[in-house]
Structure 1
Amino acid sequence: MAIKAGKELIVKIEKFALGGKGLSRVNGEVLFVDGGIPGATVRVKVTRKKKSYSEARILEVIEPSPDESPPFCFHASYCGGCYWQRVNYDRQLEWKERLVRETLEHLGNLDASTVRPITPSPETLYYRNKMEFAFSARRWFRPDEIAKEVELKRDCGLGLHVKGHFDRVFNVEECYLESPQAVDLLKTVREFCRGSGLPAYDINRKEGFWRFLVIREGKNTDQRLIHLITTTNDEAAGTIEALGQMLEKTGMVTTFVHSTNDSLSQVAFGESSIVLFGQGYIEERLGNFRFRISPNSFFQTNPRGAEILYGKVLECAGLTGGETVWDLYCGTGSISIFVAPHARRVVGVELVEEAVADAYVNVELNGIENCTFHAGDIKEVIRELSTDVPDVIITDPPRAGMNPKVIRGLKDVKARRLVAVSCNPATLARDLSMLADSYRLLEVYPFDMFPHTPHIECVALLERK
């Protein structure tokens, strides 16, 4: 039976593939099934046929998976967020650990026995400290809204994207990622903006005023930052001030920042900002350390999970107090600050200048004096720093992993120990494979930083051969 686009098939889901889709095989051909859970028998429709694989969507669940559990969220059937929430959490962990092993072995030709048991997230609901919501001039109607059989108007919407559709936004009524307070504030802002007389941004026409709402929280400080992003409109200042007054009266908001962004890219980032009330930032605590979080700064989205992960980084670094440590892709300096009390000197390197500025603020907040930071292209900066050979190098690159030139630079530097943090097992496998001629892989520790999603964080320990 050949697989063809448009064909309907009945298949059994064998396993999860990296990325979260279910995997089945039809006459030896690989079929990725969106929403498929291992053990389930489903009727699917093939949506795409490629040379080495095909993709399909589920039409009917004939026999559910024994690992399946009822979704906890009202929006589960169409939201692009927690799309593993139908899988029992214990089984999520087992599959994530298995995916790390398989990825290292198959993509990196590495020893899968180095993978240790996965560390679960301390919290599986309300674990995120940041959520980005998008406005839409023509909101997408949820199935429950259509079922009411009342006249609906495609007016201003504020919420999350429908899975797989960048141009469809539905109004969020509940969400278990950040906090109940965040959802209440989302609804407050949405109702205000709908009644403001100003239009939401239309992604197709590239016009409109309201663009994004970002809510950031300090989970350990109970502080909350509202970041509203709009296009430029000098006549809207009074409307923004009125919204600020409303938010301040809720007692749930520590600071409110309004930014403008007139670019065509759909990125929740402010080009120019003003603070309506509060200091324009919030603080968070991880362990004994304080961190300042501004509207555009990067910070681990699962702070309580990050505290455990950073503890493992420190353990793997094996510091005794006399070492020089390089922290590459250091961001706002959170890992640098965690390891600084245990090292002689820490040198952070980061491409984004604003992040380096935040890193210096954070070391000052914590009274740390043995950290320095460098902004610039990492492969160039480590060449300039190579005369001062570090004992330990910590890396925490974005999902794309490390540039091959950075990896060659690490080999030339010849630090005795590497600690590699990664949010993408596939690029981690590639990078570790490229390091294998100079470094021995000792241990890999998976961490579940994003429950109910297929995303996996890892810490790998390597020792120079």
Structure 2
Amino acid sequence: MQCDYFDSARCRSCTLMGVPYDEQLRRKDDAVRRALADVADHDAWSPPFASREAGFRNKAKLAVGGTISQPTLGIMDRQGTGIDLRGCGLYEAGLGAVLPRLGEFVTQAAIAPYHLGTRRGELKNLLVTHSPDGELMVRFVLRSQEAVSRIRKHLPDLRRGLPQLRVASANILPEHKAVLEGDLEIPLTDDESLPMRLDEVTLHLRPQSFFQTNTAVAEGLYAQAQQWCAEVDGTYIWDLYCGVGGFGLHLAATDRRVTGIETSPEAVASARLSAVDRPGRLEFFAQDAVAFARARKAPDLVVVNPPRRGIGDLTGWIEASSVATVLYSSCNAQSLAVDLSRMPSMRVTRARMFDMFPQTNHHEVLVLLQRR
């Protein structure tokens, strides 16, 4: 993949830009296998799951800089100057096509970009998600509610220009800190969730819920989970750190009971909405995963999809429990290796690297663990 932004040094976020994609895939697969060499035998590994090397991102997380008349949508440099990246080749075509109109809307609605140095202005970030059906969710991350009325006023015009816009909201982030969003979300449209239609499951994303950035690779990840779990016994499944319920919803079946646990109420609301048309007994709760596990009898199968730091204290519970099978999806092979070393009673029987983030060293790895 060739990128003018990288070649001109305006953006160096893609650390593997210029490296042939086959070589990127080989490097990442080798790195993950080395990280897990002490816990996963060579025979456990399947070939890496490849992605498109460009045009794969379903989500744009755009820092807004510049001025009302000339906003930039992209990243900030060290001086706090906005660098416009609306032409980034990583975005899905339908996502990249709408970014110029969103830049025009900033001017139309007179939303002053937030300036890091002076701490003045309103619009900090634009968060845009593109569904497989071509629909959009647009979130305006603002310093205060000052601009909300103007966004509402001009939103009908934006929707006429972008009829695929299904969900819009204003997120309020008053603090001056390096985070993408705040706690308060103000709906601006009647629809408050974006359907993400995968092979056989439609996930309903609410504004503050998480979904994988690469839709095609996420489909492959869930399909692999289905295949591996179909080969093991068990009718009661826990989906811990479940997010919007992607794994649990894909593992649901008429003879299975699935309980999903996630700390984010927004994600749980998304999962419950998605569960309406799925078979089996599905339930989702906003709770702490470790506290939930310690208070209940162990299920047949535990699925974990934690943040980068791993599952921590849950390893002790799993090691001491009667759980026969664990499916672990990780975005950090180093923390995964630490967690697996703390569960010596579990052995890795299947493993595969999924290239969720081409042009970078980031990865997703899925492992199936079974009690010795």
Task: Name the residue aligned to 2:154.
Answer: 242
Task: Tell me, in whole angstroms, the C-alpha distance in 2 between the residues paired with 1:183 and 1:109.
Answer: 41
Alignment partner of 2:74 out of 128, 148, 159: 159
Question: For 1:407, which of 305, 312, 315 is the aligned residue?
Answer: 315
Deviation at 1:156, TM superposition (A): 4.0
- For 1:93, the equivalent position in structure 2 comes to 25
Tell me the TM-score normalized by structure 1: 0.73
| Structure having the higher Rg | 1
Please list, as runs of the form range in 1=range in 2, the aligned pairs for 1:22-421 lying within 5 A after superposition: 71-76=1-6, 77-105=9-37, 108=38, 110-121=40-51, 123-137=52-66, 156-162=71-77, 165=78, 167-194=80-107, 197-219=110-132, 221-234=133-146, 237-318=149-230, 323-341=235-253, 343-364=255-276, 366-385=277-296, 387=297, 389-403=298-312, 405-421=313-329
Please give the alpha-carbon distance, in whole angstroms, between the structure 1 residues aligned to 2:65 and 2:253. Answer: 47
- Supply the AA of the counterpart residue of 2:162: T
Give the Cα–Cα distance (whole angstroms) in 1 for the partners of residues 359 and 280 of structure 2: 40
Count of residues in correspondence between the two structures: 370
- C-alpha separation in 2, matches of 1:338 and 1:132: 27
Q: Deviations over 1:194-216 (max 9, x none)?
A: 46554311123322111111111
TM-score, normalization by structure 2: 0.90
Residue of structure 2 equivalent to 1:28: none
The change in CA–CA distance for 1:368 and 1:114 in structure 2 (over 3 A counts) is closer
Mapped to 2, the partners of 1:200 and 1:252 lie a distance apart of: 25
Letter in 1 for 2:122: F
1:138-185 deviation per Cα after TM superposition (whole angstroms, max 9, x unaligned): 89xxxxxxxxxxxxx9x64322245xx494430124112223443343
Give percent identity, aligned residues only.
Answer: 26
CA deviation string 1:298-323 (max 9, x = no partner): 11221221111111112222357852
Moved more, 259-268 or 407-416: 259-268
Structure 2, unaligned runs of 5 or more: none
Of 321, 325, 347 in structure 2, the residue corresponding to residue 440 of structure 1 is: 347
- Residue 111 of structure 1 and its aligned partner are, at CA, apart by 3.6
Q: Which has the higher contact order (CA 8 A, sep 6+)?
A: 2
CA-CA distance at 1:285 after TM superposition: 1.0
Q: State how far apart, in whole Å, the 2-side matches of 1:233 and 1:441 are.
A: 50
Q: CA deviation at 1:244?
A: 4.6
In structure 1, the residue matched to 2:330 is 422
Unmatched tracts of structure 1, length 5 or more: 1-70, 140-152
* 2-structure distance, mates of 1:320, 1:111: 19
Q: Structure 1 residues 236, 395: CA separation in 2 closer, same or farther (over 3 Å shift)?
A: closer
Secondary structure class of the residue paired with 1:435: coil
SS at match of 1:305: helix
State the shift of 1:266 in Å: 3.3
One-letter identity of the residue aligned with 2:368: L
- Give, in whole Å, the separation in 2 of the partners of 1:340 and 1:166: 50
CA contact (8 A) 1:102 1:112 kept: no
* Residues 54-94 of structure 1: CA deviation (Å, up to 9, x unaligned): xxxxxxxxxxxxxxxxx522211332443323111111111
**Residue 414 of structure 1: how far off its partner (Å):** 1.9
Residue type matched to 1:411 in 2? E
What is the RMSD of the two structures over their aligned residues, measured on CA atoms? 2.6
- Alpha-carbon spacing, 1:441–1:277, altered in 2? closer, same or farther (3 Å): closer
Counterpart-to-counterpart distance in 1, 2:333 and 2:151 = 46
